[in-house]
Chain A
Amino acid sequence: MTEVVLAAAPTQILAERRRFRVLRKLAAHRSFKIGLVLVTILVLCAIIGPMLTGIDPTAMSIRSRFKPPSVRFPFGSDQYGRDILTRVLYGGRLSLSLGLSVALISGVFGALIGVTAGYFRALDPYVMRLMDALMAFPAILLAIGIGAALGAQASSIVVALSVAYVPRTARIVRASVLVIREMEYLQAARVSGAGDLHIILKHVLPNCLGPLIVQLTFIFAYAILAEAALSFLGIGPPPPAPSWGNIIAEGRDYSVEAWWVMLFPGLAVSLAALGMNLLGDGLRDVLDPRLKIET
């Protein structure tokens, strides 16, 4: 028994040291820090912000239509006299959670499909040809088609964008699995009688986590941008509940006279995407220096 404990201890310490090294490197990485601060601020604004303003984002007031930014309306008001600041804060809840959902769903299915294709080589050609075919359609067109099929609502945007990004994620995971499966520790595990499931969960998955996480931060950024574009095309989350995309879409008709309606939600989208991209760059440098950007 003692032997086992002794053998386990050093690897545990090593693993812990490695974890700290990654964290230390991240803490020293400038763009990671800037990105983290940006994203944290935006997330906090979306969670806490609406409670602070105490205004209903859908409350209309004909008398205060199209008010330019002022103390009462820091971001101005729209054609129904609604407070843009409040709408941007609430919109952040929808847009950010939408981006997160797309990233998580793409991550789970991308990992599942990528590991299947990379680990069980017999399935590889079939699975990857299907992924190639899905990738042949521009992501935004696929999302428009699926979004139109499922109807304009937040959940169909999540499905549509996930379908568009799963193949890209699967391809990255598969590429890592192909490298990992040739590693000696994997051969060792197999020789010592470990089953496929054990090998996948214990050895393969943890080792392709780095590239996967990097990819998911970029998908988060794309998803926020795509939600805005889809809303603009009329198949995003429907008004009156605000999302960053549909506030911009609604403000478009008044963009010359009331520029503030579309300016602020657009800035929010840009800052969120910028923050996630910075985070992704930092993670990529630390977790996976050799990874190339994939869209």
Chain B
Amino acid sequence: MFRAIIVRLMQSIPVLLLVAVLSFILMHLLPGDPAVVIAGADATPAAVERIRSELGLDQPIWQQLLSWFLSLAQGKFGSSLVLNQTVLSAVAERLPVTLSLAALSLAITLPIGITLGILAAYFRSSWIDAGVMMIALVGVSVPSFWIAILSVILFSVTLGWVPSSGYAPLLTAGPGPWFASLIQPAMVLSLFQIGFLARMTRSAMLDVLDQDFIRTARAKGVSEWRTVGKHGFRNALVAVVTVGGIIISLLIGGSVVVEQVFALPGIGRLVVQGIMARDYPLIQGTMLLFGFAFVLINVAVDIIYTLVDPRVRYD
């Protein structure tokens, strides 16, 4: 087991390096000059030049890449040009918001998506199946920010049940306001994922329910609940776990948009603000962290995969 984790982590090193290079390239693709951004609108050309050489931007590009890699190796992700804080502290400050949103959204997505998928597979070709698949299809077809705005009109403006925007931290504001500030964004965010997960679970369950061991279980008198839940879902779980990485990726991508609609000060909003303000080190650093997080999550998914399905080995 331990060996498998090491092997899998080693395999991800080239991808991590490439992710870093790509983050670097992406920043250098952005038009504009960071030195001008830092110096401000009415700086003299000499001041701009000085800042440029301070940042090392006058050096050849491969040298900049090298020195960035060296500072990364020391754990330095750089400082934001606009926020007056390091990239790491900016991310750490906003991480709880995004994590809260993601956790709540997963707590909604997993039970609903999986239950719907199992129901649709079990009652295949019935009206239940058709209904569930219709819900799932609508979930993956509706733009999330559009449904978010409609939801705000209904639940915040008209009914006044939950705030339309803003975030209430768990520790200072208490669990009630925290939950109220996140439940609407989390539900909007879950819509797409529920659709996706229900479709995946259904097709995985359809494969499994046709297998011989299900018939055997029924024949020997195992209860229907146990047959489907234990024998069936346990095996379908393997296929569902493989899309775990995709679900997380959808969650991160979706939260960028949802945080923007509900003005939640999370990481997605941080990146978008960084890109709009041409805050180069911030973009570079956060993209890198996003990429790293994704690669590592996929490693975790692969390892969970070996736990769920002992047939799979990484050696």
Interface of A with B (CB < 8 Å)?
A: 129-130, 132-142, 144-146, 148-151, 221, 225, 228-229, 232-234, 248, 252, 255-256, 259, 262-263, 266, 269-271, 273-274, 277-278, 281, 292-295
Please tell me the size bucket of the interface on B.
35 or more
Are A146 and B26 within 8 A (Cβ)?
A: yes
**Residue in A137, A146, A148, A273 whose CB lies within 8 Å of B291:** A137
| Closest residue on chain A to residue B275 by CB atoms | A148
Asked whether, in the complex, the Cβ of A233 is within 8 Å of the Cβ of B141, the reply is no
Chain A residues near B30: list those with CB within 8 A.
Answer: 145, 148-149
Chain A CB within 8 A of B56 CB: no
B21, B142, B256: the one contacting A144 at CB < 8 Å is B256
Which B residues from 1 to 54 make CB contacts under 8 A with A? 14-15, 18-19, 21-22, 26, 29-31
Residue of A nearest to B254 (CB): A140
Q: How far is the CA of A266 from the CA of B256 in the complex (A)?
A: 19
Residue of A145, A248, A281 near B283 (CB, 8 A) is: A145
CA of A248 to CA of B142, assembled, Å? 13
Residue of B nearest to A232 (CB): B145
Enumerate B253-282 residues with CB–CB distance to A below 8 Å.
Answer: 253-254, 256-257, 260-261, 268, 271-272, 275-276
**Subset of 13 A-B contacts with CB under 8 Å:** A137-B22, A145-B275, A148-B30, A221-B140, A232-B145, A248-B146, A255-B152, A255-B153, A266-B146, A273-B141, A292-B239, A295-B196, A295-B246
Q: What residue of chain B has the Cβ atom nearest to residue A251's Cβ? A: B149
Q: How far is the CB of A135 from chain B (nearest CB, A)?
A: 8
B312 close to A (CB within 8 Å): no
Whether A138 contacts B290 by the Cβ 8 Å rule is: yes
A274 and B138 contact, Cβ closer than 8 Å, known pairs A138-B249, A145-B26: yes
Chain A CB within 8 A of B306 CB: no
Are A270 and B142 in contact, CB atoms less than 8 angstroms apart?
Answer: yes
Chain B residues with CB under 8 A of A256: 153, 157
Binding site for A on B (CB under 8 A): 14-15, 18-19, 21-22, 26, 29-31, 137-138, 140-147, 149-150, 152-153, 157, 196, 199-200, 203, 239, 243, 246, 249-250, 252-254, 256-257, 260-261, 268, 271-272, 275-276, 283, 287, 290-292, 294-295
Q: Are B141 and A270 interface neighbours, CB within 8 A? A: yes
- Give the chain B neighbours of A129 by CB distance below 8 A: 14-15, 18
**Which of B143, B145, B290 sits near A137, CB closer than 8 Å?**
B290
> Shortest beta-carbon distance, A224 to chain B, in Å?
9
Which residues of chain A are within 8 angstroms of B31 by Cβ–Cβ distance? 149, 151
User: Closest A-chain residue to B22, C-beta based?
Assistant: A133
- Known A146-B29, A248-B146, A270-B143; judge A233-B19 contact (CB<8 A): no
Nearest residue (CB) in A for B255 is A138
Residue on A nearest B199 in the bound complex, by CB: A293
- Tell which of A134, A142, A248, A277 touches B140, judged by Cβ atoms closer than 8 Å: A277
Q: Provide the residues of chain B in CB contact with A149, threshold 8 Å.
A: 26, 29-31
- On whether A136 and B291 interact (CB within 8 A), knowing A129-B15, A293-B199, the answer reads yes
